[in-house]
Amino acid sequence: MMNGALKIALGASLMAVLAGCGNDDRGIGPLGVLAQTAAQTVAQRRAAGDEPPAPPKSPGEAAAEALRVNSGPLIQVGFESLGRTQVMALTGQNGALRTYMTPAEEALILRGGMLVGTRGLGNDLSVAEPATDALIRAGAPGTAPRIMRYYAGDGLERPLQFNCTVGAGPRAGVTVETCQGHGTSFQNSYMVQDGQIAVSRQWVGPALGYVTIQTLRP
């Protein structure tokens, strides 16, 4: 079985391609564990006094620490437009829908690795309805619509429909979904394992742009 370090390194490599033990934490909850880890890091830096602060953790180091302190499902998300990478913990599940959240209550909603909504990020995606889902999971070519719903300034939900084509990507094992409509175009990339999207680069919307998503622990 693949060890954690190798899995993280491989996952980071795959994300790059697509983009071009501790304390007893029972009763704390997944967000509490992540928040506690962040607080401990700040406290350690303050306790160091005049010593220079430690350099920020690399995405690989952050993923390894999250896996060590949190036993539940985790994903690592890179927000390209925001220039940061964040570990998110599973906080809720409704059927096939899973909600992953940061301690700051920024959330992604996934269905088998497919992004179907965001919360707390601003300019959020209310819900995505990709009819391309089955093609992507099967790695099969074809065309289908994708509807992306966003809340407008008047508080009403506005659906945007895109025409999408699914096909093989430039590298083995990568499936791409190319969509056009409303004067814009975007291309999502997916790596599927056993019907689940393990690593991906997906477009959230015109304001938030792309996110890369890697499953750290299913």
Give Cβ neighbours of residue 76 (< 8 Å, ≥ 6 apart).
Answer: 11, 59, 62, 63, 66, 85, 86, 87, 88, 213, 214, 216
Which residue, 210, 209, 201, 176, is CA-closest to 14? 201
Q: Domain spans of the chain?
A: 4-217
85-88: list long-range contacts, CB under 8 Å, 24+ apart: 85/59, 87/34, 87/62, 87/63, 87/216
What's the predicted TM-score (pTM) here? 0.76
Q: Which CATH architecture has domain 4-217?
A: Beta Barrel (2.40)
Per-residue confidence in pLDDT tens, the chain, 218 aa? 445 544 454 455 555 556 553 334 444 455 554 554 445 544 554 555 555 666 777 888 888 888 898 889 999 999 999 999 999 999 999 999 999 999 999 999 999 999 999 999 989 999 999 999 999 999 999 999 999 999 887 888 999 999 999 999 999 999 999 999 999 999 999 999 999 999 999 999 999 999 999 999 99
